[in-house]
Structure 1
Amino acid sequence: MQKFSNSIDNINSYLLILTAFFLPLTVFGGNFFAILIFLLWIVKADFKSDFQRLKNNKLVVAVFLYLLVHVIALLWTADIESGLWTLKKQLKFLFIPIFMLFVKREHIKYYILAFLASMSLSEIWSYGIFFELLPLYGGATLIDPIPLMSHITYNPFLAIAIYLLSYYVLFDHSLGRFKKTTYSFFIITMSINMFITGGRAGQVMYFAMLVILIFQYFPKNAFKAFLISSIVVMATYSTFYVNSKIFSDRVDVAMTELSNYKNHMHSSTGMRISSAINSWSIIKENPIIGVGTGDYKNEFIKASIKNNLKLEDKLVIHNPHNMYVLILVQFGLLGLVAMLYMFYTQIKIAINSNEKFVKKIGVALPLLYLLIMLSDSYLMVHMTGLLFIFISSFVYKDYESDKQYRLKTAK
Structure 2
Amino acid sequence: MKENLEQVANSNKYLIIIYFFMITTPFYFFPSQYPLFTVFFVIMFIVYYKKEVFVQLKVAFMNKALILIGLYFLYTYLSLLWTSNIEHGFAVQKVYREALFYIPILYIFLNQKTAEISLKLFCIGFGLYALYSIGYYLEFYQYGASTKDNPQGHLGYETVTVKMSLGIFFSSIFYYFESNNKMRYLFIFIFIVCLIGLGINNGRAAQLSFLLVLITLIIIYRKNIFSKKTLIVFLSSIIILGVVFYKHKDRFEIGYLELKKVVVEKKYEGSWGIRAYMYLTGIKIIKENPFFGVGSGDSKDTYRLIASKENSPHAWFSHMHNQHIELLSRYGFVGYSLLLISVIYLLYNIRENRKFFILGLVFYLTIFYNSFFNTLLDRKPIYILFFVIFALLAILNKKDIKSINN
Q: For residue 299 of structure 1, what is the aligned residue in structure 2?
A: 302
Q: Distance in 2 between matches of 1:161 and 1:218?
A: 22
1:67 touches 1:90 (CA, 8 Å); kept in 2? yes
1:20 touches 1:30 (CA, 8 Å); kept in 2? no
2:124 touches 2:190 (CA, 8 Å); kept in 1? no
CA 337–26 in structure 1, closer or farther in 2 if over 3 Å, else same: closer
2:83 touches 2:298 (CA, 8 Å); kept in 1? yes
1:139 touches 1:149 (CA, 8 Å); kept in 2? no
1:152 touches 1:199 (CA, 8 Å); kept in 2? yes
Q: Distance in 1 between matches of 2:242 and 2:258?
A: 21
Q: Distance in 2 between matches of 1:120 and 1:221?
A: 25
Q: Distance in 2 between matches of 1:341 and 1:278?
A: 26
Matches within 5 A, 1:186-205: 186-205=190-209
Q: Once the 2 structures are TM-superposed, how far is the Cα of residue 72 of structure 1 from its aligned partner?
A: 1.3
Q: For residue 56 of structure 2, what is the aligned residue in structure 1?
A: 50
- 1:392 counterpart (390, 393, 396): 390
Q: Distance in 1 between matches of 2:233 and 2:90?
A: 44
CA 57–11 in structure 1, closer or farther in 2 if over 3 Å, else same: farther
Is 1:102 the counterpart of 2:102 in the alignment?
A: no
Is 1:72 the counterpart of 2:72 in the alignment?
A: no
Is 1:137 the counterpart of 2:140 in the alignment?
A: no
Q: Distance in 2 between matches of 1:216 and 1:197?
A: 29
Q: For residue 260 of structure 2, what is the aligned residue in structure 1?
A: 259
1:287 touches 1:328 (CA, 8 Å); kept in 2? yes
Q: Which amino acid aligns with 2:27?
A: L
Where 1:397 maps in the other structure, the secondary structure is helix
Deviations 1:77-99 (A, max 9, x none): 11111112222332233222222
Identify unmatched segments of 5+ residues in structure 1.
none
1:358 touches 1:396 (CA, 8 Å); kept in 2? no
CA 285–135 in structure 1, closer or farther in 2 if over 3 Å, else same: same
Q: Distance in 1 between matches of 2:146 and 2:373?
A: 22
Deviation larger for 283-292 or 99-108: 99-108
Q: Which amino acid aligns with 1:13?
A: L
Q: Which amino acid aligns with 2:257?
A: T
Q: Which amino acid aligns with 2:54?
A: K
Question: How many aligned residue pairs are there?
Answer: 391
Is 1:149 the counterpart of 2:155 in the alignment?
A: yes
Q: Which amino acid aligns with 1:268?
A: S
Q: For residue 65 of structure 2, what is the aligned residue in structure 1?
A: 59
Is 1:406 the counterpart of 2:398 in the alignment?
A: no
1:194 touches 1:203 (CA, 8 Å); kept in 2? yes
Q: For residue 341 of structure 2, what is the aligned residue in structure 1?
A: 341
Q: For residue 378 of structure 2, what is the aligned residue in structure 1?
A: 380
Matches within 5 A, 1:102-251: 102-132=109-139, 134-172=140-178, 174-176=179-181, 178-214=182-218, 218-219=222-223, 235-242=239-246, 244=247, 247-251=248-252
Deviation larger for 272-281 or 91-100: 91-100
- 1:13 counterpart (9, 15, 34): 15
* Larger RCO (CA within 8 A; separation ≥ 6): 2
Instruction: Give the RMSD, CA atoms, in angstroms.
Output: 3.0
- 2:276 counterpart (267, 273, 277): 273
CA 63–254 in structure 1, closer or farther in 2 if over 3 Å, else same: same
Q: Distance in 1 between matches of 2:277 and 2:362?
A: 31
Q: Distance in 2 between matches of 1:215 and 1:138?
A: 42
Deviation larger for 300-309 or 149-158: 300-309
CA 100–76 in structure 1, closer or farther in 2 if over 3 Å, else same: same
Deviation larger for 210-219 or 296-305: 210-219
Where 1:406 maps in the other structure, the secondary structure is coil
Deviations 1:12-45 (A, max 9, x none): 3322210111112234345433432133224445
Q: Once the 2 structures are TM-superposed, how far is the Cα of residue 235 of structure 1 from its aligned partner?
A: 4.4
Deviations 1:140-178 (A, max 9, x none): 122011213111111111111111110122233x132x4
1:12 touches 1:102 (CA, 8 Å); kept in 2? no
Q: Once the 2 structures are TM-superposed, how far is the Cα of residue 114 of structure 1 from its aligned partner?
A: 2.9
Deviations 1:120-147 (A, max 9, x none): 3322222222122x12124312201121
Deviation larger for 288-297 or 100-109: 100-109
Q: Distance in 2 between matches of 1:230 and 1:112?
A: 22
CA 12–258 in structure 1, closer or farther in 2 if over 3 Å, else same: farther
1:155 touches 1:194 (CA, 8 Å); kept in 2? yes
Question: TM-score scaled to structure 2, two decimals?
Answer: 0.85
User: Identity, % of aligned pairs?
Assistant: 22
Where 2:15 maps in the other structure, the secondary structure is helix
Identify unmatched segments of 5+ residues in structure 2.
none
Question: TM-score scaled to structure 1, two decimals?
Answer: 0.84
CA 19–229 in structure 1, closer or farther in 2 if over 3 Å, else same: closer
Q: Distance in 2 between matches of 1:400 and 1:57?
A: 7
- 1:356 counterpart (351, 354, 357): 354
1:324 touches 1:373 (CA, 8 Å); kept in 2? yes
Where 1:379 maps in the other structure, the secondary structure is helix
Q: Distance in 2 between matches of 1:63 and 1:303?
A: 32
Q: Once the 2 structures are TM-superposed, how far is the Cα of residue 320 of structure 1 from its aligned partner?
A: 0.9
CA 293–263 in structure 1, closer or farther in 2 if over 3 Å, else same: same
Deviations 1:34-76 (A, max 9, x none): 4321332244454422232111212211211111111111111
Q: Which amino acid aligns with 2:191?
A: I
